[in-house]
Amino acid sequence: MVNTIKGDSIIHNDVDYSGKIVTIERFILEEQRAHPTATGTLTSILYDIALAAKIIASKTTKAGLVEILGSTGRKNVQGERVQKLDEFADSVIYRLNDHTGRLAVMASEEHPDILPIPERYPVGKYVLLYDPLDGSSNIDYNVSIGTIFAIYRRKTQDGPGTLEDCLQKGDDLVAAGYIIYGSSTMFVYSTGVGVHGFTLDRSVGEFFLSHPDIRIPAKAKYYSVNQGYEHYWSEGVRRYTEWLQGKNGSGKKLSLRYIGSLVADFHRNLLAGGVFYYPADRKDPKLPHGKLRLAYEAAPLAFLAEHAGGAASDGRQRILDIQPTQLHQRTPLFIGNSDLVAKAEEFIREYDQAE
């Protein structure tokens, strides 16, 4: 498949989109046509997620106005306060997908166990894992937040989907993406053939192709890490950060940008070039592997990073090679420009004890 942008023409999968108003539905359908064996089921799942995104976006842009701010008073499996918008996003995504017959099982950051398809509905051949509203602690401060999703084929043959279906390596992803609810609402996804961004036009309620074939710029501009935890970092991570800052004659000239909302930090680095990292640190003995979750945060974003020409590692191995053993397991994450991710692995290899 050839994806090229020549001058002002946009050609993807040999379809020339120049000058056309390309909705997400049209683009996904064209992509489906490029896969002769495609049945359209994956296409429909992506439509359903795009619809969920429009519904969630309708609330995130008014969060300050409607009674949806603040916390439900409950705590999720991570022990974090569940914000009302979290709960709303979680139920919208589940309810738009539980009856379609396209999924065998789901799993969400907000629920301790897998989410079975109700017995009254048929099961399908795909698995959907999602973080309904990542960065939700930022909701009350009007900071960009996001939804992250990962789609696999089921591994079990039939019947209700199982935990095994949800514990798959990122290398086996068939599609992944995120929605960022910020100054504009964008839907960014990949099915393994390029990474493509769509921007929501609220006036018509449509996502339009705005960022075809996203590639991480070769020259990175930013590094993104919570410097407030510096004293908890390993020697390797500390030296890596100094290298990124241009100390000890590294010659790097990167600016620090850290929003504290994973999707927003990742999105900026994807478009501008940079590296985001949330390393293992010693600030919380209960979180020896850092704060971010593998299944529905690190792995789907790693899939996108790689298909945009970048890389993602836990500091020692490729994120997509990690075989999950628990649904909510956490992982250190270094993600962005390949050379910067490789450099992180180099410092960790040289200065940190192997676990």
For 46, 239, 243, 292, the CA distances from 347, given in Å and listed in that order, are 39, 7, 10, 21
CA-to-CA distance for 101 and 43, rounded, in angstroms? 13
Stretch that binds ligand P6P, among 11-19, 129-137, 155-163, 338-346 (CB under 6 A): 129-137
Give the residue, chosen from 210, 260, 328, 346, that forms a contact with ligand P6P under the rule CB under 6 A: 260
Q: Determine, following the binding rule CB under 6 A, whether residue 137 of this chain makes contact with ligand P6P.
A: yes
* Residues found in the chain: 355
By CB under 6 A, residue 226 contacts ligand P6P? yes
Rounded least distance, CB 256 to ligand P6P, Å: 13
* Phi/psi of residue 181, nearest 5 degrees: -100, 95
Distance CA 344, CA 194 (A): 25
**Of 12, 267, 291, 307, which one interacts with ligand P6P (CB under 6 A)?**
291
Nearest-angstrom CA–CA distance, 334 and 208 = 30
Sheet strands side by side (includes 185-190): 115-116, 103-108, 126-134, 145-153, 175-181, 185-190, 196-201, 206-211
Query: Among 144, 191, 261, 337, which residue interacts with ligand P6P (rule: CB under 6 A)?
Result: 261
Closest to ligand P6P by CB, 10 or 63: 63
Show the 3-state SS of 211-243: ECCCCCCCCCCEEECCHHHHHHCCHHHHHHHHH
Least separation, in Å, of the C-beta of 134 and ligand P6P? Answer: 5
Closest separation in Å from C-beta 308 to ligand P6P: 19
- In Å, how far are 75, 111, 191, 281 from 276, measured between CA atoms? 27, 26, 23, 15
Q: Which helix (H) or strand (E) holds 148?
A: strand 145-153
Binding-site member from 124, 132, 135, 161 for ligand P6P (CB under 6 A)? 135
Closer residue to ligand P6P (CB): 136 or 190: 136
> Closer CB to ligand P6P, residue 207 or residue 276?
276
Select the span of 91-99, 161-169, 247-255, 260-268 touching ligand P6P (CB under 6 A).
260-268
Which of residues 166 and 335 has its CB atom nearest to ligand P6P in the complex? Answer: 335
Query: Contact with ligand P6P (CB under 6 A): which of 86, 110, 134, 352?
Result: 134
Tokens at residue 21, please? 């108003």
Whole-number minimum distance, CB 31 to ligand P6P, in Å?
28
Q: How far is the CB of 27 from ligand P6P (least distance, A)?
A: 27
Footprint of ligand P6P (CB under 6 A):
134-135, 137, 226, 260-262, 265, 278, 291
